[in-house]
Structure 1
Amino acid sequence: MKAAVLYHPGSPENFVLEDKPIPTPGAEQVLVKVKAFGLNRSELMTRKGLSPSVRFPRVLGIECVGEVEHDPAGKFKLGQKVAAFMGGMGRDFDGSYAEYAVLPHSLLYPFESQLSWEQLGAIPEMFQTVYGSLHLALKIKSGESLLIRGGTSSIGMLATQLAKNSGLTVLATTRKLDKKELLLRNGVDRVLIDDGSLAEKVKAIYPKGVEKVLELVGTSTLKDSLQCTAPGGMVCMTGMLSEQWSLTDFAPMEYIPATVHLTIYDSGQIRVGVQSFQQFIRDVEAGTIQLRISKLFSLLEIAAAHEFMESNSAGGKIVVVTED
């Protein structure tokens, strides 16, 4: 099988495309024929060497969709369509940047769909992250106001749609004025140009602040996002587009405004159920949800795909298919 192996962290050119033996699944494992996968910023950070726990060589890739090739336990049928994400994929063990992957039973989501593999490849982690952030962490309700910081990211674009479908008023940010129309077409009510300081702009619209904030930029803007939030409101930090894991000199009493709640969503810790995943696929099939796929690459083009992701010009999910 072909696999993109990263022997040393660094630039996209560090990926080595090579032929490897098809792995054999052990107990509680399944061999999956990978059909497609989405790219994620965390993989970019790992490629750069910013994930201290990852050991090399490693096949990256924290999500995929494909078909069951072999399940020694017989839990999954041959050819069953499955999705997988997180749980150590591409970090603790080899992930989806390959034609085949050996994955634990616990990570697999069986599903049925007539969508193309490139469409399905955009869904697993993006859906889990958005649904979990909005419904499990922020507990959004109809009539609330939501600020999405990092609105043009694939997570931000999908979060806008799910929030609007749930009856929220959505404010979203971009650093580039030419992305304003993209956000408006996606359903955003108000677009804010992010210069790093939004609190004054938000409170010109909502004097007390917004009720909910989805923070996708990360630690570099988190303090300002907390200042955008109304008393009793909530901020969920989900993304790290700024590629910074931690805060220095964190003083909670000074950092977090009184009665404002700060939480996170991490699909590696809490997962959305299989039924919700299948329903989301049905919503995409019905046209209720529009997937924003920015660009499609083949596995052989993995270095170019990473270069495109790093350019921050996607405006949607980047998907890689394993077959040309």
Structure 2
Amino acid sequence: MPSTMRAVDIENGKGPISALHLTTIARPTPSASQALVKIKAFGLNRMDLLQREGHYPVPPQAPSTLGVEFSGVIEALGTSGGGPENFTIGDSVFGLAYGGAYAEYIAVSTHMLVRKPSELSWEECAGIPETWITATQALYLVSGFAQGKSVLWHAAASSVSISGIQLAKGDGAGAIFATARQDEKCEFAVKELGATAAFNTTTTDWAEEVLKATDGKGVDIIIDFIGGTYFKDNLRAIARDGVVVVLGFMGGTIVKGDVDISPILMKRVTYVGSTLRSRDEEYQRKLRDQLVEHALPKFKDGTFKVYVEKVLPWEKVQDAHRLLEENKTKGKVICTVA
């Protein structure tokens, strides 16, 4: 096996899209509890754009190479073997990593691997780990979702919200609402994903529409990727004893103007932030197990769907980043590794 491999690098360590290029680096060697996976495809995430620009805090154990989700074939195992899942060389898998997926090979803990179902393509599997595990974390571990509760997902056509809407519907949410900045994405959330209703945040008072749709009660759970610009209206739209989970700051980190924070007290609101990549391996493994037990059977029977917007060869990684930055996608952007 060669000691080097091709990988996507960033010229000078950070920069614009034009800084992305293919180069040759050392091939990783799996540690005792890791597997070496030859990558077939990797998924893009918004954190990749931020990391490329130098604006994302990378965990200390992560390699400098971008990418946290992938699919591929196990080519070697560390001295501990295939772990409790009994992975073997030649197994088709997909998985979550702290980084390094924009490459021909990745060394990753066997605790973060999942066997690839024959019903799904390499490209579909590469789009599952980060988005579906993030949605699982936000919905179940952080917000305490249970059957009958209502949920609002901001950024309806983002891959995490696409996953989360399907999870909430599959587990009997009382109502599922969504927001987006384009009518096309709102229609997608309702007609394709099964949301109860979706509201265009650029043309409507979405918080008011949520209150109307819930007879003034508001929603039990809000999953927010926007941040500062939605803080005030999240407090309007959340129900008594509701939970707002913040996963991103696409709208910035500053809350502007005079904002009445009394609903936090009067409604007994829990406003909580959460991340996934910075979590330890044991935490992520538990989420992987929940994905395998809860979601994987529904991928196999077609109940859950991985929405892939575009597949590109990794030589066109600049085009892939550009497509993601345009904010027009409805689902994953995937790169294949030849």
Quickly say closer, same or farther: Cα 1:261–1:181, change in 2 above 3 A.
same
Q: Secondary structure at the match of 1:320?
A: strand
Q: Tell me what 1:221 maps to.
A: 230
Contact 1:144-1:211 within 8 A present in 2 as well: yes
- 1:321 corresponds in structure 2 to 336
Aligned to 2:117: 113
Superposition deviation, residue 30 in structure 1: 2.8
Deviation at 1:281, TM superposition (A): 2.5
Per the TM alignment, residue 247 of structure 1 is displaced from its structure 2 partner at its CA by 6.7
Could you tell me which of 304, 308, 312 is aligned with 2:323? 308
Residue 80 of structure 1 aligns with which residue? 91
Aligned residue in 1 for 2:213: 205
**TM-score when normalising by structure 2:** 0.84
Cα distance between partner residues in 1 of 2:163 and 2:292: 16
How far does residue 221 in structure 1 lie from its aligned partner after superposition?
1.6
CA contact (8 A) 1:198 1:225 kept: no
Q: Which runs of 5+ in 1 are unaligned?
A: none
Secondary structure, in 3 states, of the residue corresponding to 1:282?
helix
Q: Secondary structure at the match of 2:168?
A: helix
CA 1:3/1:248 → structure 2, altered by over 3 Å: closer, same or farther? Answer: farther
Change over 3 Å in CA distance of 1:178–1:53 after alignment to 2: closer
TM-superposed deviation, 1:188: 1.3
Q: CA RMSD in A?
A: 2.8
Q: Decide which of 272, 283, 291 is 1:277's aligned counterpart.
A: 291
1:187 is matched with: 194
Residue 105 of structure 1 deviates from its aligned partner by 4.4
Q: Who is 1:142 aligned against? A: 147
Verify the 8 A CA contact 1:223 1:255 in the aligned structure 2: no
- 1:207-286 equivalences under 5 Å are 207-242=216-251, 244=252, 256-258=264-266, 259-268=268-277, 269=279, 270-271=283-284, 272-279=286-293, 280-286=295-301
Whether the 8 Å CA contact 2:156–2:185 is kept in 1: the answer is no
In structure 1, the partner of 2:165 is 160
Normalising by structure 1, we get a TM-score of 0.87
In structure 2, C-alpha distance between the alignment counterparts of 1:246 and 1:25, rounded to whole Å: 42
Q: Distance in 1 between matches of 2:317 and 2:29?
A: 24
Unaligned runs of 5+ in 2: none
1:56-93 per-position Cα deviation (integer Å, ceiling 9, x unaligned): 9931112222222111312342122333324xx23xxx
Partners in 1 of 2:14 and 2:182 — Cα distance? 30
Change beyond 3 A, Cα 1:283–1:211? same
Identity of matched residues, %: 29
Corresponding residue of 2:24 = 19
Report what 2:9 is aligned to.
5
CA contact (8 A) 2:35 2:78 kept: yes
Answer whether contact 2:231 2:255 (CA < 8 A) is retained: no
Distance 1:53 1:21 in 2: 20
Quick check: 2:36–2:75 contact (8 Å CA) kept in 1?
yes
Amino acid at match of 2:197: R
Deviates more, 1:225-234 or 1:256-265: 256-265
SS at match of 1:134: helix
Return the offset for 1:20: 3.0
Q: Which moved more, 1:274-283 or 1:227-236?
A: 274-283
